[in-house]
Amino acid sequence: MEQEITAFIAYLHNVKQTSKNTELSYKRDLSKMCHYMVEQGIDTVKKISTTNLNSYVLYLEKNKFAAATISRYIASIKAFFHYLVKEHIVAEDVSEPLKAPKIQKKMPEILSTQEVVDLLEQPGGEMPKELRDKAMLELLYATGIRVTELITLKVEDVNLQMGFIICKDAHKERVIPFGKEAKKALLSYLNKSREAMIKDETEDALFVNCSGQPMSRQGFWKLIKFYAKKAGIDADITPHTIRHSFAAHLVENGADLRSVQEMLGHSDISTTQVYANMNHNRIREVYAKAHPRG
């Protein structure tokens, strides 16, 4: 089974052009299933039946895995078996009857406008690292891009004069504007800091670490935790909290959902709709508190 999983990951990389994180996630999920099947005496993908897969899902539920996690495992299994059928490794797709558990959608955690301001004001010095941190935080909130998109930006992806970035993935690219505060922070970083931090003049990554290498996801996570604590923000925020806050604040201030969808890179507007629902809930709360007969 490990051989087929390795071939599937190679297919994702070469044909589907998936990201490294996506490939690692699939490999992790499928290796877990493989381990379970081997323990049940099943050593090849051809021996796996729908009953075996259902037993695996029951095992996950019995061991209190979250519904979202089980849904992800099932999605990985379905993608894997679709590939096996396509490549004529197995005769039928035994994963087709699998049903993902219903997931209760939780409203995303967002920061208030003041909390965002407090966070963005933390790196206020003139040291190269502080100028970089300020530029990264300002650009993240100004554009709502994902952390992976932020750390993979190239210098050439930034148009300072027109005030936008070009965000690329394997299938498309999108143009996202940013405002004067992000522009100011980027100019300070590029003019005063980046050159002092890079070790190789051919390095094209926009944001680099103290070793002159492209910034890592882990490095940025630590950075955002550090400044959140410094700002006195109690919430356990992540880079995605800033993305949610960007979207929620835009919708709250009258931005149309289609534009927000385009900036976030959502393929389905129903994903973006959650921010409108948050705004409706907030309006109802304000009404209930303020109206004499609320």
Measured from the Cβ of residue 53, the count of other Cβ atoms closer than 10 Å reads 22
Same domain, 172 and 252: yes
Q: pLDDT tens across 250-288, in order?
A: 888 888 888 888 888 887 777 787 777 776 555 455 445
Same domain, 189 and 275: yes
Asked whether residue 103 is domain-assigned, the answer is no
Look at residues 47, 67, 86 and tell me which one is the last residue of a structural domain.
86
Same domain, 226 and 272: yes
Average pLDDT over residues 29-49: 94
Percentage of the chain lying above the pLDDT 90 cut: 62
pTM, two decimals, is 0.64
Of 168, 183, 201, 195, the C-alpha closest to 134 is 183
Same domain, 24 and 119: no
Q: Which domain holds residue 163?
A: 113-288
Q: What is the pLDDT of residue 285?
A: 54
CATH at residue 17 = 1.10.150.130
Mean pLDDT rounded to a whole number for the chain = 88
Same domain, 126 and 204: yes
pLDDT at 195 over 70: yes
Q: pLDDT tens across 122-171, in order?
A: 998 899 999 999 999 999 999 999 999 999 999 999 999 999 999 887 66
Average pLDDT over residues 15-36: 92
Average pLDDT over residues 179-193: 95
Rounded-to-10 torsion of CA 279, 281, 282, 283:
90
Reading the block at residue 90, the tokens are 């197995």
What does the alpha-carbon distance between residue 101 and residue 103 come to, in Å, rounded to a whole number?
A: 6
Q: What is the pLDDT of residue 286?
A: 46
Q: pLDDT tens across 63-120, in order?
A: 989 888 999 999 999 999 999 999 999 999 999 999 888 766 666 788 899 999 999 9
